[in-house]
Structure 1
Amino acid sequence: MKENKFEEIYEVVKLIPPGRVSSYGAIAEYLGSKRGARLVGWAMNALNNRSDIPAHRVLNKTGVLSGKNAFPHPNMMKEKLEAENLVIIDDKVQDLAEYFWDPNIELL
């Protein structure tokens, strides 16, 4: 059951455009589970750096790179976001509101 839920999460994460970010909670809410942010985090941690899922674009609700330790090296998440022209200071995306992609709005 959890694996199927993970795949649902991955399908939403694949839709986050380059240069944009979303949050665990926004993805969970879109999938019908307002309190499911932790499950989205588990799904991101279970990826083992699958290249087809842009996990680096999923942050906590305040824009902190809370999933950075799930990458092969701790700076990889930051480097991937900076390569998409986002500014990261102290492991936090700057101007989060400008770059935030909310599936509850974007996928209506």
Structure 2
Amino acid sequence: MSPNLFDEVYSYVKIIPPGKVMTYGQVARALGIKDTRKVGWALHASKSSEVPCHRVVNKEGRLAENFAFNGAGEQRKRLLSEGVKFIDDMHVDLKTSLQP
């Protein structure tokens, strides 16, 4: 996967506003990426605190257990601090928090 694709993913994810999430699939479709997993790979590789990787979840709203910055617990903590609603410990409420 090219570094340019990683940069495209990072730039796109930066536009997700605080308090909202997007799915890996939404990001992939917006960028014309056929394999949704590539979005996950790019986000997992990010070492920048400027890329809000925590705002990307799977299609069911599930948090990433291997979240790049200390696991799903940290991802949950960051999302809660932004006002994202949850339906249980591992799933974001997509009805209220999904960015269209």
User: Is this a same-fold pair by TM over 0.5?
Assistant: yes
Contact (CA 8 Å) 2:85, 2:96: kept in 1 or not?
A: no
Task: Tell me the number of residue pairs that the alignment of Structure 1 and Structure 2 aligns.
Answer: 99
Could you tell me how far apart the structure 1 residues matched to 2:13 and 2:65 are?
14
> Counterpart of 1:63 in structure 2: which amino acid?
G
Match of 1:82 among 74, 80, 99: 80
Q: Which runs of 5+ in 2 are unaligned?
A: none
Q: Which position in structure 2 is the counterpart of 1:22?
A: 22
Q: How does 1:1-108 map to 2 (within 5 A)?
A: 2-33=2-33, 35-48=34-47, 50-88=48-86, 89-94=88-93, 96-102=94-100
Q: Which runs of 5+ in 1 are unaligned?
A: 103-108
> Counterpart of 1:7 in structure 2: which amino acid?
D
Q: 1:79 to 1:13 in 2, by over 3 A?
A: same
Aligned-residue RMSD, C-alpha: 1.6
> Counterpart of 1:3 in structure 2: which amino acid?
P
C-alpha deviation, 1:62, in angstroms: 0.8
**Structure 1 stretch 85-94 or stretch 19-28: which is displaced more?**
85-94
Runs of 4 or more off by more than 6 Å in structure 1?
none
**What is the percent sequence identity of the aligned residues?**
39
If the length of structure 1 is used for normalisation, what is the TM-score? 0.83
